[in-house]
A and B are shown apart, each in its own frame.
Chain A
Amino acid sequence: MDKYDVIVVGGGHAGAEAAHAVFRMGFSCALVTFNQKTIGQMSCNPAIGGLGKSHIVREIEALGGLMPQATDLSGIQYRTLNTRKGDAVQALRVQCDRELYKKAVQKIIKETNIRVFEEEVVDLVIKNNRVNGVLTKNQTIKAKKTILTTGTFLNGKMYTGESVTKGGRVGDGSAIPLSKRLYDLDLPMGRLKTGTPARIKLSSIDITKLEVQPGEKPTPWMSLYNRPKKHQKQIPCYITRTNEKTHNIIKKNTHLSAMYSGNIVGIGPRYCPSIEDKVNKFEDKKSHQIFIEPEGISKDLVYPNGISTSLPHKAQKDFIHSIKGLERSVIEEYGYAVEYDFVDPRSLKSSLETKFLKNFYLAGQINGTTGYEEAAAQGLMAGINACRAIQKKQSLILERSEAYIGVLINDLTNHGITEPYRMFTSRAEHRLLLSQNNAEQRLLKKAFGLGLVEEKRYKQYIEKEQQYQDFVNKELKTKKLKSFINKENQKINLPESKSVFSLLYRTDANKTKLFTTNKQNDGFYKRTITETKYEGYIQKQLREITKTKKQNRKKIPKNTNYSKINGLSNEVKEKLNTNQPDTIGSAANIEGVTPAAINLILIQLKKNKMQKQNA
């Protein structure tokens, strides 16, 4: 008999979320990590959320995950981005206390029956192409399913100037034997890089010279459910800028940067360039913003976001000292570039189980993503789907029109990646459907059905939805007005009185003046404003979705030989042959596959079917 249902290797954001999902679904779980003190460690900047990312966090919450809870237990500054834009593209960003965040995750894990092993995994137990567990330095741990969430630890190398250290994060080792094993399996792998800035002592910064960015008031919450009684102490962030002197120092030293030395082959994220890249690529930009993020309430350390670098220590010190407010700053830890291996996510099924080994799942940065939220989302889905497989039930595959998590996994498993993958709202073609504020409406019912959330919570939700419907029907649709105030603040008389609800569809009406809200219904009213504003677009999207859904679900037989389909370009043939999409929808999502190519594939499928019928 297997000792555990699921083994999770790695205790980062993907690992913690995976293990917790397994626990919630009622299965036994072993979490194997190098160092249990680093479970839930934020290894990059200490913030959760932002555009596309808070959307994911709220989805994780609707699926019962721990990230939003840990965020609120450690949040020291909350800000909603894009407040002047519509609901679908607003996003909450939370600065967290690094220590408190980690502690919160560890506490949440401790409250479960998840068994934590502090060991290094050196090999997988493989029999007949199935993974039956892992081999650590001391023992063999067996399980029905194994989830690997080893982040940047696969063949990790850190670079500063000319020095190279093995490891994925300062202070931790690199999982070399395990990555060798994965290389021996001959998996499609690649190499990526990312960077961090130096960490600076807050007490050594002259904050009087900096722009202060306080948090939002009243302070919002990331979680809708399971909130702590009150927020942590809220503290501000600061903004400063590079200047011409800074740029000169960087330019003079660029040739010494590890990233320019030719030693690094990995591809870095274009949305998170090093300061060397920014200065050299955008030469006409005379100054770049630096966002000074506090590391914690009682920690004398900041994360200067915007100046990640792999310059030698001296050059780092020089350019940092040239920046306003940082003239006398003390550097606690220098910036470095990390290079690491990832597994081409196209070798995964939509459930995140690998195509090459059964009972084996990959989640998080190992699949080429970056970001805590992206990692957590994958861990969560891998955990859920490992359990679903044990239950012999269908995997939970979220649609692109249903969740950012659906977009994330669909993009990864179909397109693969060319740089570390980060979520943005523009990746979601059904963006208007996916607000950070409607994740529950999209996912909670499913989550309850899977056993991921308690009944109590589901009932609360149903009750709230009922209250909302009552509000719309009994207040907005009943209350009639004879006139309204338009956007130019003029009173417009109506020939016959109209309900508030129908006036919400008028683009010229000043909506906040149509209805006076109170504390209870203010959120409801905002929701109606959004829903009526988006309705036309959403109807159109829904029509498109139903139209393409049927076609997209059409299965493509395994091992289809696309070279035999006349009319497809060689490039498309090659892409289809390598990817072997399992459905028409997946095929359509491969770059370069045009609607015309999809038609040809459909015709071919039909043809095969007809030939079979005739045979």
Chain B
Amino acid sequence: MSVVFALATPPAKSAICVFRVSGSGCLKKLGDLFDKEGFRFGRFYVNDLFYKKNVVDRVGLIVFKGPNSYTGEDSFEVYAHGGLGVMSSIVRAFKDVGFDEAPGGEFTKRAFLNNKISLNEAEAVSDLIDSTDERGVALSSKSLFGELSKKVVSFSGEIDSIRVRVEGDIDFSDEDNEYIDESLVKDLKNLCNRFDSFVAGCVNKKFGYEKNKILLIGPVNSGKSSVFNRLLGFERALVSNTPGTTRDLISSELFYEASSFSVFDSAGIRDTKDRIEEAGIAASLSQINDADLVLMVFEDYDPAAFDRFKGLCGDKPFINIQNKIDVNKPNNSFDCCVSAKSGAGFDVLKSLIISAFDVGAKKDDFNFIIRDRHEALFKKVVLDLSKSLMGLSGGDSIELVAEDLKNARSHLDEMVGKKFSDSLLGDIFNDFCIGK
């Protein structure tokens, strides 16, 4: 099998990061990467890692000989410094020597293929990796094997029963049965609408697999990065009192109580002639659309500025924060007043964040957690169903309507099992008296 690599630690700035590489032939490339050969198995080495003859970082290295490795193949692990620049250079160095980026679950799959773990373990591993909080784990098993699949089975049944009438009209048109009438169009329309809202419900609530995104915005130099660092509990964003220091969106994960969030820091928003910063501002505006909660950070109360930022948020939920209360007087027009410098007011802020999500998305009335794969399939179903409805009401050739319905149904095969034509025919024979 080809050589694949993946970052084993989260793609965020941290003290160290770990890369894992696996596949037969990977050890032959160690010479190119480290300008040195003869590494022994199971020993820890500290060496310079090169990309196109330039040193990227001084890293730690452990080499495993298959089958005594996680995947069962020859493999090695690299421990590097956790800077984003270092990470991307290492990715480039690996690709340069012909390694491929591993698709999700690839290492686990190889481990399974090589008898290192059982299938159940493999599935469990990938579920654990995909889920980001305790409740997510519980919900994911519930939704995938319980309610969600029941729901999908019932939608599949509805598609099947419409197909019964459409296929009946094609194959048994010379029998004296009425297959297609106004009620069929109505039933299909109804099904389309309900499936649409089912899918919308699946996508909106993303507790388990996709973290809630929190975005910090505010006027330039209002102290967003300081609030960001204080929220996370350590220095991550570059902080200075020169306005406009934060130029890229910086993100990190915040674990609080049993939930996890992705927190994004953005460049301050102001009129600027600095073209680099313009790009940063544009980026933060588009981030607002992606965010689930916006934290607006101000230094003092300015109704005009406040309205301007509120306008940017559109209908996103937001928390209105006054920072720097160590120097300015707290103003009760804000939702909460904090000092990033002293840490005052952060307990209130954190509970506001938690309650914002609890109110906005109560765990109890979540609809369904789905994997990306399922989301993609459902979206195809929506498309095919709406095509079939258009065709049916627009008087298109019925065989094309049948084709759209068949396609819609086949996307659900993976979740509910294939509908074989023989069983569809059986349904036709049960519903209609066929046979001259």
Contact = CB atoms under 8 A, between A and B. Distances in A.
Interface in B407-431: 407, 413-414, 417-418, 420-426, 429
Given A85-B397, A85-B398, A429 B421 contact: yes
Interface in A284-319: 285, 288-291, 305-306
Contacts of A86: 397-400
B177 to A, nearest CB: 9
Interface in B92-147: 112-115, 118-120
B167 A566 contact: no
Contacts of B426: 270
B307 interface: no
Interface in A251-282: 269-273, 278, 281-282
Contacts of B418: 591, 594-595
Contacts of A105: none
A83 to B, nearest CB: 10
Most central of B171, B176, B400, B429 by chain A CB within 10 Å: B171
A81 B421 contact: no
Interface residues of B, number: 40
B181 interface: no
Contacts of A425: 170-171
Contact residues on A (Cβ < 8 Å of other chain), bracket: 35 or more
Interface in A572-615: 591-592, 594-596, 600, 603, 606-607, 610
Interface string A531-554: 001100100100000000000000
Given A81-B174, A271-B435, A424-B171, A592 B399 contact: no
Interface in A422-438: 424-427, 429, 431-432
B123 to A, nearest CB: 9
B205 interface: no
Contact of B422 (A278, A415, A533): A415
B1 to A, nearest CB: 8
A273 B113 contact: no
A96 interface: no
Q: Is the interface of B mostly helix, strand, loop or mixed?
A: helix
Given A418-B422, A591-B420, A81 B173 contact: yes
Contacts of B290: none
Given A89-B399, A426-B425, A429-B421, A271 B434 contact: yes
A427 B397 contact: no
A594 B414 contact: yes
A88 B413 CA distance: 25
Interface string B392-404: 0000111110110
A441 interface: no
B48 to A, nearest CB: 34
Contact of A432 (B119, B174, B399, B429): B399
Interface in B19-57: none
Contacts of A288: 176, 433
Contacts of B436: 289-291, 305-306
Contacts of A603: 112-113
A18 interface: no
B175 interface: yes
Nearest to B166: A426
A595 B414 contact: yes
Interface in A56-93: 81-82, 85-86, 88-89, 93
Interface of A: 50-52, 81-82, 85-86, 88-89, 93, 269-273, 278, 281-282, 285, 288-291, 305-306, 411, 415, 418, 424-427, 429, 431-432, 507, 533-534, 537, 540, 566-567, 591-592, 594-596, 600, 603, 606-607, 610
Given A51-B173, A86-B398, A271-B435, 17 more contacts: A51-B172, A85-B398, A89-B170, A270-B434, A273-B433, A285-B433, A289-B436, A426-B171, A431-B403, A533-B397, A537-B403, A540-B407, A592-B417, A594-B413, A594-B417, A594-B418, A607-B113
24 contacts: A51-B171, A82-B173, A85-B398, A85-B399, A271-B172, A271-B435, A281-B433, A288-B176, A306-B436, A418-B422, A424-B425, A425-B171, A426-B170, A427-B425, A429-B406, A431-B399, A432-B403, A591-B418, A592-B417, A594-B414, A596-B414, A600-B119, A606-B113, A610-B114
